[in-house]
Amino acid sequence: MKAILSKDRENFSGLGMNGLAFISLLLLVLITYSNSFNASWHLDDGPNITENRNAHLQGFSWSEVKNALLASPSGSSVTCLRPVSRFSFALNSYFLGKDVFGYHVVNVGIHVLASFFLYLFLASALELPAVRTRYGTPHRFAALLVTVFWAIHPIQTQAVTYIVQRMASMAGMFYIMSMYFYLKAQLAHDRTAKRWFIAAAAGAGILSFGSKENAIVLPVSILLLRLLIVQGFTMENLRKTLRDLSVYYLLPLLVVTACLFAFHDIIDRVFALYHARAFTLWERLLTEQRVVLLYISLLLYPLSTRFSIDHPLEISRSLLDPPSTALSIVAILTILAAALLLARKQPLITFSLLFFFINHIVESTILPMELVFEHRNYIPSMFFFVPVVMGIMKFLIISSRPMRVFLLTSVGLVIVVLGYATFTRNLVWNNERSLWTDCLQKYPSSFRARHNLGRDYSLSGDAERAYEEYALALESPFISSSPKEAGITYFNMGLLAHERGDLEKAYTLYEKATGIDPCCPGAGNNMAGILLGRSLSNASAALDLLDRAIHCGHESETILAWSNKSILLWKLGRHQEALAAAHKAFEMNPGSPLNLLRLGYMLKEKGDYRTASIHFRRILTINPRDIHASLFLAEIYFNSADIEKGKSTLDRLLQEVPVEEVIRFLETHTDEGAGLEVAPRIALLLPFLEEILQEDIPSRRRNADQETHPSSAIRGKK
């Protein structure tokens, strides 16, 4: 009876400690991230969320759900990647709106859940007899301390506050859930419970991989967990684990890879991306050894001044160039050797160290990705602080009372410092300017920081500062890990010149952009427009530019190039080809007002008034203030001798748009239409416009009087 009561008390205290742990983690995370809920959109948030129409659910029809699950980033041809995290963005938009606040609420919630499951996993692992007898520590307190160090560490802000990196944090949440359920399955005595836990572990693992592909190493982590923590390290268990790893993981992985290579050329396409990088596969592999040591240093020395959205690094060209490459490799091999030597005596520490390196394999080895991003540590760092906490717990046990007070006070100070560093780091994520200004304070020669700061100045209307920042970016010794990004800088400088009417300078800058990247998005279309603005005799060169833009494959640029090509062919008298090109652009984006306008214009010119008018009316449902569509629609009515409808269309336009704006439009648009412009027949429309304006003058005067004297309007109503 006493044994039963003792067991009940233990279970109750465990539940109570779990509840206390959850509340503690919730409060600590909310406090440290309390200033992040209104942080703005950044970088990849645009193509993945704000600019991606599939990331915003309007309902739950199968087509909408499928589009949300399989949505690719805006401008990308890659589909069906990370469907779980992508669908979460769509649900976020549907239930909490499109404001950043709702997205941050979910991101922080995911981080809290990931932290709690990390605590549950560690508490269960430390309770295993083999581990508990070896360390002899209060396992729940140790589990909570490891989790707190991880949860409020400033390195996690990039995975939590940077909204699109929910992909990393959600993958991490399901990853640790899978490991926890697997561990519970190993501890379960009831066969039914064991099966349920295994099913839950498999489901969470699939969701983790569906959130981000780096979860592909989860089976390796679970086998490592079984070898070191559950079964204990012996040569027999090692042989069994290696056999299972080969049969159940590596062999299927090789078969799948071979199939992808044979039937889809995916491997070729992935590694072809190295052509757009400033490093080779070998150079990336060498450089990543230094990157991993940078991550370790950030985890151990977490001052907020050391964290940055960009860490420009010199690329390792060989083992001794720079010399730190060889030193980094030696340091990593030493850590790995020490971890293996500790496998029998300190299995939990061995597991923690090996887990860190195993979970960096996908993003820190040979794939042609960016070199450094802090969010890549979200999963690898989960057990990073286990050796630190085990050391603290050991000292607490053997120390005198004053020393224990000192140690606990020091631990409290570390928690305060970590929380403060995270809180401070979140201030930097407030907006684009604060993010990139912070980066420049730490890395004044950062190309990416200069470029993005220039873009921010451009969006805020400070063209002069924007141009200065772009020019400074091009002077940087670190022209990003992708040299093609310098082409984007030249293109953005060209846009600034284009906007202020300096077309010669704009064209020169666009040429520099295409010299670096022949497929620089936007350059081909803009250059073609400038050439045709000079003279239609440049049509041949303009067609070449548009064809190149089409073949480059950027979705939005391809659509615009087809649309531009259709107008150019029409002006050259190649009407059938023009209509085919216009239909092509329309099929690719039937909701585009520009595509509707140009196709409607051509159909109008061919005499197909009925279809043309449908296109113009569709534009006006999107934007009732569209002058172009209104004038074209009125022209159709006048050509069809339907004078009343034509006049009512013009009258509706004058009600929607100020007269001065309409007059300005008429003055700047000739019947011919310069460059790629199309224009209505002004000579036909002008008499009717003048007639409507003359008829409307008295009523306009009365309205003006009523606006000047509100009381007269009230009397009139009486």
Q: Mean pLDDT in the chain?
A: 87
pLDDT of residue 371: 93
N- to C-terminal Cα separation, the chain: 91
Residues 6+ apart with CB under 8 A from 299: 153, 155, 377, 381, 384
Please, which pLDDT band fits residue 106 given cuts at 50, 70 and 90?
A: very high
For residue 6, pLDDT over 50 is answered with: no
Express each pLDDT in 63-99 by its tens digit. 888 888 876 665 454 455 799 999 999 999 999 989 9
Average pLDDT over residues 150-158: 97
Average pLDDT over residues 286-314: 94
Task: Please work out, in degrees rounded to the nearest 5, the angle formed at the alpha carbon of residue 700 by the alpha carbons of 697 and 703.
Answer: 155
pLDDT of residue 257: 65
CB atoms within 10 A of CB 702: 13
For residue 256, pLDDT over 90 is answered with: no
Phi, psi of 321 (to 5 degrees): -130, 90
- DSSP, res 318: B
Please, which pLDDT band fits residue 164 given cuts at 50, 70 and 90?
A: very high
For residue 415, pLDDT over 70 is answered with: yes
Please, which pLDDT band fits residue 259 given cuts at 50, 70 and 90?
A: low
pLDDT of residue 576: 95
More confident: 128 or 462? 462
pLDDT of residue 714: 24
DSSP string, 223-265: HHHIIIIIS---HHHHHHHHHHHIIIIIHHHHHHHHHHHHHH-
For residue 345, pLDDT over 70 is answered with: yes
Express each pLDDT in 569-626 by its tens digit. 999 999 999 999 999 999 999 989 999 999 999 999 999 999 999 999 999 999 999 9
pLDDT of residue 717: 28
Express each pLDDT in 311-323 by its tens digit. 988 999 999 999 9
Contact between 183 and 225 (Cβ < 8 Å): yes
Instruction: Give, to the nearest 10 degrees, the angle between helix 218-225 and helix 166-187.
Output: 30
Closest listed residue to residue 103, CA positions, set 28, 42, 58, 54: 42
pLDDT of residue 509: 96
Contact between 233 and 224 (Cβ < 8 Å): no
Please, which pLDDT band fits residue 670 given cuts at 50, 70 and 90?
A: low
For residue 118, pLDDT over 80 is answered with: yes
Contact between 528 and 557 (Cβ < 8 Å): no
Q: Residue 318 pairs with which residues in a beta bridge?
A: 321
Rounded Cα gap, residues 367 and 363, in angstroms: 7
**3-state SS class at 164:** helix
pLDDT of residue 136: 60
pLDDT of residue 541: 93
